[in-house]
Structure 1
Amino acid sequence: MGMWSSHAIARQDTIIGDVRMRLEAPVLDPRIVIVDIDTKSLGEVGRFPWSRNVLAKLVDQLAGHYGAAAIGFDISFPEPDTSSGYAVLDRLAAHELKDVPALRAQLAQLQPALDYDGLFAKALQGRPVVLGYNLAAVKRGVLPAPAFTAADLRGRELVAYAADGYEANLARLQAAARGAGSFTVISDDDGMVRSSSLLQQIGDGYYPSLALATAAVYLDAGKLTPDFGKYDADSGAADAIRVVGTRGKRRIPVGLGLLTAVQFRGTGGPQGGAFRYVSAADVLAGRVDPRVLKGAIVLVGTTAPGLQDLRATPVNKEYPGVEVHANVIKSILDQHYKTHPDYASGIEFAQVIVVGLALSLLLPALAPLAAVLTSGFAFAAVVGLNWYAYRALDWTTDMFICLLLVAVLFVLNLAWGWFFEHRKGRALVSRFGEYVAPELVAQMAENPEAYTMEGESRELSVMFVDVRGFTTISEGLSPKALREYINLYLTAMSEDIRGSHQGTLDKYIGDAVMAFWGAPVAFADHASRAVATSLLMQASAARLNEDFQRRGWPPLAIGIGINSGLMHVGDMGSAIRRAYTVMGDAVNLGSRLEGITKVYGVGIAVGEATRLAAPEFVYRELDLVRVKGKNEPVAIFEPLGKPADLDPAVLDELAAWDGALAKVRAQDWDGAQGAIAALHAAHPQRALYTLYLERIAHWRADPPGAGWDGVTTFETK
């Protein structure tokens, strides 16, 4: 864009142009029909390429039966078709079966029917058919006569896409066809097709593209000529290509290299909405409504998977190549082109000056909301003006630099405003800290839009931690020592919660700690984070205990309860004091589980929902319990760690315990007692085994009965 031109800016304007093109709704053009060699056609006719007797029939149907006005093949035919088998029969008649005179005579009669190239050439003769060919490094086949030659330019130099070679059609086919055109597609640096080369230079000749050649046949044009209205000798550029025919004349604007921008319509393919597709199989079988093809321009191509004729375009990364030509032909027929006029740079420069001055004067004087609205209006005005020029005037003006200017001025104004509002913002954060957990305040200050204090229901994991025998501890320490004891403990636990696993520290309740995971920052693995933190906290408590005992303080042991489920989270409390916390049945169960750890002699107890949500840990099942306030029993577990971190002996012990617990629930008291007694002998410190041996003794004396569900009911909190 003139003085602001750069690759980065041009790239952004290209992206904007792509989006602008995608926003245009397609309108079906009945003049151009694509005969599609689709999956249906391959199923009915056979794999591609088809024998040319089939293509001969296709041309007969299109030109003869249906009356198509022009037919363009997005296909080339550089090699003879030997699929009839005539060459094999001819060789046999000349050598192995030369002593069979009747065979040679019979072959002479069959030859016309088995000469598929001859049948195809006969079908092409006198028909408005344009064959396609590919530009390549080799030279195969025969080119049509050029549209014009270098000599015809009378000393002017015309720069076009130049090719060293071509893969064209058989001489007999090219001689029979009305013309031919290149279907080679030129992509931009990003692989997207956005323009089409209307003429390519091969040697001294200039040859039309398939789209231009087909449009010329449709218009019954005698010749194509370059228009040097504003010839630039330095760039070798022409303004346009003129097509003059009995059905009208067209002037096609071109840029450097004789390129014209492709105006893509729709998303491509049978459902794209811009062009009607009919199956080649239906054409061959005569199943197409004659009104669809009568007088139409027909392009024969393929969308069948595997035939590799899909192109990346601004409207679709997999766009049928044949439809690229269709879009160019439509633009030629309609004389409707999106162009970048010479004076566009002046318009763009004026736009930048006006918008820049207006915002520079207005934004500093406006309140924040008004500044936002004004910047938004300026942004919308630039986009709207660009869209109007695109739709109403067919101009493709650039606008990224102007949009960037709006954004930069807005940000600068915002930054300036923030400088003055910073102290006010600090006070706001301070007020938040009066009723929100400090860690939440820090996160809100960094990205406040991402979080909300409003109450909501969310799947979370909650943790309750309590010190064992704290009353005894407090009685055995002086107030100063107790304060240091509890401060060291709470600091260590808080650091573990708020550390690498990023829990939210809810509150301290005396010596107890409450925390949760999954809010305000949402974590899909909130249960795994909670379990991992609980194991870390037990390790921290063990280290603290060693330190405390060296000081002569009472030993430290903690119990942790974790539960996962649907909870209510948000800013809750009274008009006097509020806090960001969680509530609900799942929270209450987590609190009950912390108390239950004392009964089973374990450091951590988690609910079944937590175990299911954090399956990467190994767990020891403790029991099925019915806690106070809930009727439904819950399985509870002790997390032991990840499999890779556990000694094989621990896993063996766990397997033996699972078997023993199964015997308990089956009321196999002898088997259960023997299995648990063996575990108790190997691990006498494990209070869980002592508990179950006592329970078995009780159940022997007072059997629970046949309907026993194996659930232990707790009547206290």
Structure 2
Amino acid sequence: MIKNNKYYNYKTAFSLISTLLFLWLLLSDSRPISKIHNALERPVVRYHFMQNERIKPKDTKLTIVYIDRQSLDTYGPWPWSGRQLTILLNRLINNGASVVAFDLPLSMPEENNAQQVYDWLKKNRSLNSRTSRALKRAIKHFDYHGQLARRLKHQARQQNVILGFKFTNDHIISTGHLPPPINFENKITIRPIHKVSSYNGNTLNIQKSMLVGGFINLNSTHKTPLYKTPLILRYGTQIYPSISLQLARNRLLNNKIYLRSASNDSNFITGINLDESWIPTDQNGNIIFRFQGPPGSYPTVSAKKIISGELLPSVIQSKIKNKAVIVSSNVPHIRSGVKIANKYFYSSAEIHANIVSSILSGQVFSKPLHLQHLDIWLLVFTGLTLGLILPGMKPRQLILVSGLFIFAWLIYHSTLMSSLLYISTLVIPILLIICLSLFHYLSSQDSVKLRMLSALRVIQDRIPLLSPIDSSQSDKESISQEQSTVMFVNIQNFTEISEQLNTIELNKLLGLFSTPISSVIMHHHGQINQHIGHSILATWSKRGNLSETMDHALDAALKIRRIAKTLQLASIKKNLPPLEITVGINSGIIKTRSLTWQSRLTCGQAVDSACKLSDLSGFYGVNIIVSESSRNASPDFYYRQLDTIKITGLAKPITIYEPICRTADIDLCEYYELQLYNRAMEYIKESNSKHAISFFSYLHKARPNIVVYKRYLDKLHTNAMNNKKTVHNFSD
């Protein structure tokens, strides 16, 4: 037989393994796990947009200039000539734009038609001095690319133009040129920052003219959701800023920039300092920003209207003066947008505008390092604590404890976390609590326990003992002796019942009996020694004191008595004879010998007495009978004295009792009935038949279903009692 504590050890092991698994889910940065985190956070993003759908940014110091389809129809496909870009830039600067950021890389060099004519004539020796002078003037006039570069070089002194470029991870050949990397005032490791493999930069002349630039990527890798976008990325050994970070630096008039790290961990980035302003980031340099409103929250202007001069100067200035301008496109094949929460479509410029607004307004979410460490320790504490306290709990207690842990996590998350977007740090512990609670609840149910028991029986039948008992071994090695409480559970009148049923019906009846009874015994820490057809022999070995083991046995017996009525109805519904279950309990010294991996041979006077008490239960019309020694060992129960009997093999008669309930569970009616019964038994001892008959008549009239009242009343009426103590000879 497998020890009971071993049976419960697997629950603790499951709790430990589950805790480690969920801890890995919380910490892992692998692609599948990141997808799970993003899936958990997606409903929160959708809820966030539903709450902020009608909210507009309070201070829109940003304007978006779109190269839209109307502009492309007027000035040709992208990339545009430097002439249109120069006009656009001049009019934006002249109308008071504080900074202009290009959300498009200028990577295509522009050919000068006058230069091509000049080169062709010179090659064919058809160029005279007069034509040469005219063409040189034309070359200078049609050098739109050079004009744009010169205009950018002029603006570079004021640092109010930011050129965009794009990083890629496609391992393709890089094109164009990059601006100078960002120079941090402090030295810090760059290993945690996401690395890129290639880029699409601006042309050499354009990039030489303008030293300020930023990447236009919205996502660094496949792992990051849209609302978590990088502010810095690494190419080679250099770090480059995003166009959003450069815009924020310009608006904050910042010159010095620092990388901020955890106090004791230089590998863990916590944010970026722009002089006195701090932008919190995660350990990879990603910012978690807040969308300021639905699409269309920022003012927009068509590039065509600015270049052509269609708008009045007052209208242009109202949209542009003292504002940061982002030049982008809302045409998909030029600059694609992103759909958020399956409802909102944002252009890339709008996303950059939301990032800059979040930085300037301080609505950037952060999670300090100490809270991330606290998440780990609290998750481990939750898993281990539940693994220790949940086994053996009743369903109501289990639900209450699990609910308290979930409530504690909700309070912790809502109090200390600054962002709902960290929903995965809340969902994972709650899933762990639900998983452990569900497992412990199901493992406490009859079906799970009995499936395990059935599996062990199959293993027992198919696998021989690892160390079979050798008949040559001495009795001391093969037979053990211990003080135990013995329970014998039996189906009354089983011989008559078995003759009425066929094999299939008999198997159903035995399954209906053995499954719940075995579960109750194991739940109350008992060992099932043997299944003997229609009977179950169980023992409770003495561990601390006899009273503790007897309490477990009596609790199991009372539970069996409660479910016996349910089993009776269930057997009738299945067109089977009603089950009458009897229980006998005794305590004493027993001898055991292991037969197989699971079962043991148990014998001794205590076993014989328990078996005979179970058989005698039907005579007295009760479900449970315990011996006098068992009653004395467990005083925390109320008992009804049944009789004093003589059992073959015992020198002296013993008094037998029926356990009623625990002393704390008895109700007032049962208490008074028991007092009347005890008084009637005292009259019998005193040979006062008149008063005894009076009391038993009253009890029988009030409770005609209790057989023992009727038996004593009949014996008193027929004067069957010759002694003060009634003794029945009971033999095999």
TM range (shorter): 0.3 to 0.5
Higher Rg of the two aligned structures = 2
Higher relative contact order (CA 8 A, sep 6+): 2
